[in-house]
A = this chain, B = another copy of it.
């Protein structure tokens, strides 16, 4: 028999000012983690930088890890929303558009990128102790489903298995994000151009080359948007868990 108090607290909608404070804290955390890395970013720093007391942070999240999980989740939602908005126009959406805007959005979100790439420089112990990043696994799985759908609509080639294609996509994206920033001066290419290059590479590697009927194109647009919305929905759910008082990040397995 649950106590009425707890239930009331759990159901109480997040007050706007409280949510605003949560975001202020996350903003501070984002800046600090990008400048100093996870290991060297303390709760005290975050509190001071956000203009709140340390205890206040624990009114929002139950641990340091939960706070940073919320931060990553927020950034992930923002990233996906950026992609969603970018492809939101009236015309059709091709897988290639998705690749390109995904690349652009990832380039603009160092934290999501770090999580996806397993960058220990930024994420430190958050990654080192649990190399099993569940996010990456989920992304792979979703990608596999998306590829299968595209395949059914004749958009991508069928002489490679989805598993092989997931390998190919993972490798190519990883390589682009890790290597291109390390290239010497004279090989540097602008971010816009890199996104084009990456999209082009994936497109050429995956595309069936068939000319699609308007119906097929429409189906692919729908599938692409559905895929994006599905990811966005999952990401929003996770973020919601991280921002809701009743949960406070308990779902974040240590």
A contact set with B: CB distance below 8 Å: 137, 140, 160, 163-164, 166-168, 170-176, 178-180, 183-184, 186-187, 189, 193-194, 197-198, 200-201, 204-205
**Nearest CB on B from A102, distance (A):** 15
CB A145 to nearest CB in B, in angstroms, measures 14
**Shortest beta-carbon distance from A171 to chain B in Å:** 4
The reply to whether B197 and A201 contact each other, CB–CB distance below 8 Å, is no
Q: How many copies does the complex hold?
A: 2
| CA gap between A69 and B172 in the complex, in Å | 30
CB–CB A197/B137 < 8 A: no
**A168 and B194 alpha carbons, distance in the complex (Å):** 9
Q: Which of A171, A186, A198: most chain B Cβ within 10 A?
A: A171
* Contact across chains for B205 and A164 when beta carbons are under 8 A apart: no
Are B189 and A180 in touch, CB under 8 angstroms? Answer: no
Chain B residues near A205: list those with CB within 8 A: 200-201, 204-205
Are A166 and B178 in contact, CB atoms less than 8 angstroms apart?
no
- Distance between Cα atoms of A175 and B170 in the complex (Å): 8
Knowing A137-B184, A164-B189, say if A172 contacts B170 (CB, 8 Å).
no
Contact B174 A201 (CB under 8 A): no
Which one of B172, B178, B179, B187 contacts A201 once the chains associate, using CB atoms below 8 Å? B172
A152–B180 Cα distance when bound, in Å, is 26
Which residues of the other chain, B, contact A171 by a CB distance below 8 angstroms? 172, 175-176, 178-180, 198
Shortest distance between the CB of A178 and any CB in chain B (Å): 7
> Apart from A137-B184, A160-B200, what are 4 other A-B pairs with CB-CB below 8 Å?
A163-B187, A167-B194, A175-B179, A204-B205
Chain B residues with Cβ below 8 Å from A178 are: 171, 174-175, 178
Minimum Cβ distance to chain B for residue A190 (Å): 10
Contacts of A201 in B (CB 8 A): 168, 172, 201, 205
Shortest CB-to-CB span from A132 to chain B, Å, is 9
